[in-house]
Amino acid sequence: MSASLMNTYARLPITFVEGEGATLYDEQGRAYLDAVSGIAVCSLGHAHPEIAHALCEQSKKLIHTSNLYHVVNQQLLADELIRLSGMDKVFFGNSGAEANEGAIKIARKYGNDQGKTNPEILVMENSFHGRTMATLSATGSQKVQEGFHPLVSGFVRVPFDDIAAVEQKIASHPNLVAILVEPVQGEGGVHVPKDGYLKALRALCDQHNLLLMIDEIQTGVGRTGKWFAFQHEDILPDVLSLAKALGNGVPIGACLARGKAAEVLAPGNHGTTFGGNPLACAAGLAVIKTIEHHNFIDYVAKQGEIMISDFKARLAGIEQVKQVRGKGYMIGIQLDRPCGELVKRALDKNLLINVTRGDTIRLLPPFVMSHTQQEQLVSGVCELINEFLTDI
């Protein structure tokens, strides 16, 4: 670790200097199959020619002017996101945490405008929404929150995928103004709720005049085999947060709102210096164009199902494998014991994977991964698991 950098990351002993598609190359030129995608960011892989071309051309024209003025690319990208999502308005920031901060501010002001001086937001256990003070307070992880008390107040917590618990909290908390939920818990271990969960939350929000706010920082922009994971349930949220894959590596976040939620914020209520700049929005536009042109949404839905089925078949009968779960190119393999060391073991096999919650292998492959590379990924991970369990 460099002495000049804050000690905030337990970095692996490797530096990547180049990439192409689903492959990264280190300083010695060794190739690694990337099943992390920069934590669900580089869904179109590395050095994608269409993204690179868009960034190069935009950088020759204009990179930043600020939101004191109209930004053409910002309007174009907003229009595309509205077309794809069914939402009404967009606010651009620089990250997922900022997108969720925007959602939290919308909920707070929505409640205050109704005369609720202590508005509360219902959030889920085991969730992850970011590392700013408000978003880590909303997050359902004591590990993330440790050392940062006092937390931001106004969050009420229930178990994920438990509608009865939601109903009970609504009945006992008259200051509730919104529900904030991930359609699939990513950092929490790739937990996919039962069918109908989001639809039931939508009905409860409609019944009690609450905002349904869906955090699609990790699931959005194609990761689950739909443009947005809420589309699997044929509903619309009131607020939608996006980031990660929207820029394919260029920092960008977006907070989308619909109906009454879209009219909450006014000039002076919220802002950003860098958010929605011409370069970041050029990246977002190129991402959407590329995904549509190559029909990656249907591809991810189909190939993700194949990979999940392959993992289940190859790991069947291994009692230490508790569950294989996922949706699209978002796959979790949970073991019955901590398995963080698998990340380093995988690196030794030229394979990049991630372990979250201590016991769950999380795979977030880029959409551009070939069929041969998918087979390599499934075989490599299954081999790692078998070796790991044999060595214990």
Is 35 a residue whose pLDDT tops 60?
yes
3-state DSSP assignment of residue 174: coil
pLDDT digits (tens, 9 = 90+) for 280-303: 999 999 999 999 999 999 999 999
Look over the chain and give the mean of its residue pLDDT values, rounded to a whole number.
97
Question: Looking at residue 175, what is its pLDDT?
Answer: 97
CA proximity to 239, closest of 197, 300, 177, 151: 177
Active site residue 195: no
Return the number of other C-beta atoms located less than 10 Å from residue 141's C-beta.
16
Summarize the confidence of residues 165-187 as an average pLDDT: 98
Instruction: Considering only residues 327 and 10, tell me which one the structure prediction assigns the higher pLDDT.
Output: 327
DSSP string, 232-298: GGT---SEEEE-GGGTTTS--EEEEE-GGGGGS--TTS---SSTT-HHHHHHHHHHHHHHHHTTHHH
Q: Which two tokens stand for residue 102?
A: 């925007």
Angle at 216 between CA 148 and CA 364, to 5 degrees: 95
> Which among 91, 92, 109, 128 is annotated as catalytic?
128
> Which among 244, 311, 367, 388 is annotated as catalytic?
244
pLDDT digits (tens, 9 = 90+) for 349-383: 999 999 999 999 999 999 999 999 999 999 999 99
Residue 162 — very low, low, confident or very high, per pLDDT cuts 50/70/90? Answer: very high
> Which among 215, 226, 327, 367 is annotated as catalytic?
215
Contact 186, 362 (CB under 8 A): yes
CA proximity to 238, closest of 264, 276, 211: 211
Angle at 213 between CA 247 and CA 148, to 5 degrees: 80
Return the number of other C-beta atoms located less than 10 Å from residue 285's C-beta.
18
3-state DSSP assignment of residue 143: helix
| Percent of the chain whose predicted confidence (pLDDT) is above 90 | 98
Active site residue 244: yes
Strand partners, 176: 120
For residue 315, which phi and psi values (nearest 5 degrees)?
Answer: -105, 0
CA proximity to 298, closest of 251, 367, 351: 367
Residue 391 — very low, low, confident or very high, per pLDDT cuts 50/70/90? Answer: confident
Residue the block writes with tokens 């280190």:
26
For residue 257, which phi and psi values (nearest 5 degrees)?
Answer: -140, 160
Question: Looking at residue 3, what is its pLDDT?
Answer: 82
Task: Specify the pairing of strand 211-215 against strand 176-181.
Answer: parallel
Q: Which two tokens stand for residue 94?
A: 């620089």
pLDDT digits (tens, 9 = 90+) for 49-103: 999 999 999 999 999 999 999 999 999 999 999 999 999 999 999 999 999 999 9
Q: Which residues contact 174 (CB under 8 A, 6 or more apart)?
A: none
CA proximity to 110, closest of 176, 170, 60, 172: 176
